Amino acid sequence: MSAPVAASTYSKDNPFPARITENRLLNKPGSAKETRHFIVSLKGSDLSYKAGDSLGVYPTNRASEVNEILSRLGATGEELVSPAMLKLPAPITLREALGQRLALGGPTSKIISTLAAKATDAGEKAKLDALLVPEAKEQLTAFLDEREYVDLLAEFPSAKLTGQELVDHMRKLMPRLYSIASSSKLYPHEIHLTVAVVRYTTNQRERHGVCSTFMADRVAVGETPTPVFVSNSHFGPPENGATDCIMVGPGTGIAPFRAFVQDRVASGATGRNWLFFGDQKQATDYLYQEEWEKYLADGKLARLDLAWSRDQGAKVYVQDKMRASAKELWTWIQGGAGFFVCGDAKRMAKDVDQALHDIIAEQGGMSAEEAQAYVKQMKKDKRYQRDVY
């Protein structure tokens, strides 16, 4: 919410080829998670950022997956193609299209129709046709959810596709956004990120989240040019440094709040800071532990509430910690504090929102409707902001 920064020559359409100068695992041995701290150097660019902004990163695909697709197509990669989705002025090589320009995951039903039309093996054709009948809609969705394009080429080898036919089905490879975890007041020439590396298995194949594993595995530290841009956001710490700031950020949701606290400490903000953080296990998943403990010891964090979901039988989440301190939370809110949430949109942000409503209703002696109106006004006043994904 601070003053907008001057426009850079670099943008989403003209990203800056940055170097990643640090790639550090934040979880301790024995953790079920892989959360990494990256430092992206802005040296050589005129990029600037403010707390609350995100960094856009353009990844490339894994060479092994590209090679497997080429081999299943019987192609060398040197063939020229013009992928429909890219609307290019001139053709590019199939290798470039698959490696850098197109998403190798997220196949749609259209490819199933194409494969069905091309399959020469009766068994393959029957399986494809069965997925295309209207009654099999749910089955088709589940089938596609479990597969990437390479799976389909492997499963239906009799349906010979050309490189051009395959790439015409694929979507554009999009940049990914990451909440910036540093303040430019402390780090004007670099951007810190807190990234959960996505790895899972479907259809008996190991999957690798494109961008998180690009940064984790495929970028050589200090070497690989990594195209980035700053995505300005309305999300940000209170404009008035005297305003108290309540931050709820479990998991990678912690990222922008590291930036908020750095920023407020650097600017001498007098408002208090209250952080709710949570993750699976305290011993292995306490991200930036030393930093929070130092802020707490120095009085820069007024309160730190931690929710470890897997340290005991029953789950404990950030919203449980909010409810346990409902009275004080309400006192802060009544006193004008801002309430900020970052992290998982599907479950966490909804549950935290519910907890906020319940606390306001209970502590403020309001009906559910009154609490709803109160929260609505907080949003209008930009006192309740979310950066959820």
Ligand X SMILES: Cc1cc2nc3c(=O)[nH]c(=O)nc-3n(C[C@H](O)[C@H](O)[C@H](O)COP(=O)(O)OP(=O)(O)OC[C@H]3O[C@@H](n4cnc5c(N)ncnc54)[C@H](O)[C@@H]3O)c2cc1C
Which stretches of the chain bind ligand X, using CB under 6 A?
Answer: 54, 176-179, 194-196, 198, 200, 202, 209-212, 252, 255, 387, 389
* Residue 347 contact partner, candidates ligand NAP, ligand X, none, CB within 5 to 8 A by sort of partner: ligand NAP
> Residue 107 has what DSSP assignment?
-
CA distances from 292 to 50, 251, 274, 286, 303 (A): 21, 15, 11, 10, 10
For ligand NAP, the binding residue among 18, 20, 35, 387 (CB under 6 A) is: 35
For residue 4, the SS3 value is coil
Distance CA 190, CA 19 (A): 10
What is the smallest separation between the CB atom of 91 and ligand NAP, expressed in angstroms? 35
Stretch that binds ligand NAP, among 50-58, 167-175, 185-193, 344-352 (CB under 6 A): 344-352
Distance CA 230, CA 208 (A): 24
Note whether 306 binds ligand NAP by CB under 6 A: no
Token representation of residue 210? 């494109």
Residue pair 69/149 in contact by the 8 Å Cβ criterion: yes
What is the smallest separation between the CB atom of 251 and ligand X, expressed in angstroms? 8
Cβ-based nearer residue to ligand NAP, 272 or 321: 321
For ligand NAP, the binding residue among 183, 252, 273, 385 (CB under 6 A) is: 252
Distance CA 369, CA 362 (A): 12
Residue pair 115/159 in contact by the 8 Å Cβ criterion: yes
For ligand NAP, the binding residue among 237, 250, 256, 338 (CB under 6 A) is: 250
Cβ-based nearer residue to ligand NAP, 234 or 315: 315
Of residues 336, 387, 334, the one with CA closest to residue 364 = 334
* Residue 176 contact partner, candidates ligand NAP, ligand X, none, CB within 5 to 8 A by sort of partner: ligand X
What is the smallest separation between the CB atom of 172 and ligand X, expressed in angstroms? 13
Distance CA 87, CA 48 (A): 31
Q: Residues binding ligand NAP: what is the number (CB under 6 A)? A: 25
Cβ-based nearer residue to ligand NAP, 85 or 316: 316
Residue type for position 387: D
Note whether 45 binds ligand NAP by CB under 6 A: no
Sheet holding 273-279, edge to edge: 303-308, 273-279, 245-248, 338-343, 384-388
What is the smallest separation between the CB atom of 207 and ligand NAP, expressed in angstroms? 11
Cβ-based nearer residue to ligand X, 285 or 387: 387
In order, the DSSP letters of 289-302 are HHHHHHHHHTTS-S
Site string for ligand NAP, 263-282 (x = CB under 6 A): ---------------xxx--
Cβ-based nearer residue to ligand X, 179 or 262: 179
Of residues 296, 245, 253, the one with CA closest to residue 269 = 245
* Residue 202 contact partner, candidates ligand X, ligand NAP, none, CB within 5 to 8 A by sort of partner: ligand X
Of residues 150, 141, 156, the one with CA closest to residue 170 = 150
Helix ranges restricted to H, 234-340: 255-266, 282-285, 289-297, 318-324, 326-334
Give the count of beta carbons closer than 10 Å to the beta carbon of residue 287.
23
Note whether 346 binds ligand NAP by CB under 6 A: yes
Note whether 344 binds ligand NAP by CB under 6 A: yes
Stretch that binds ligand NAP, among 7-15, 296-304, 346-354, 371-379 (CB under 6 A): 346-354
Chain Cα centroid distance, residue 188: 23
Cβ-based nearer residue to ligand X, 139 or 367: 139
* Residue 255 contact partner, candidates ligand X, ligand NAP, none, CB within 5 to 8 A by sort of partner: ligand X
Which residues bind to ligand NAP, rule: CB under 6 A?
33, 35, 196, 198, 250-253, 278-280, 309-310, 315, 317-319, 343-348, 351, 389
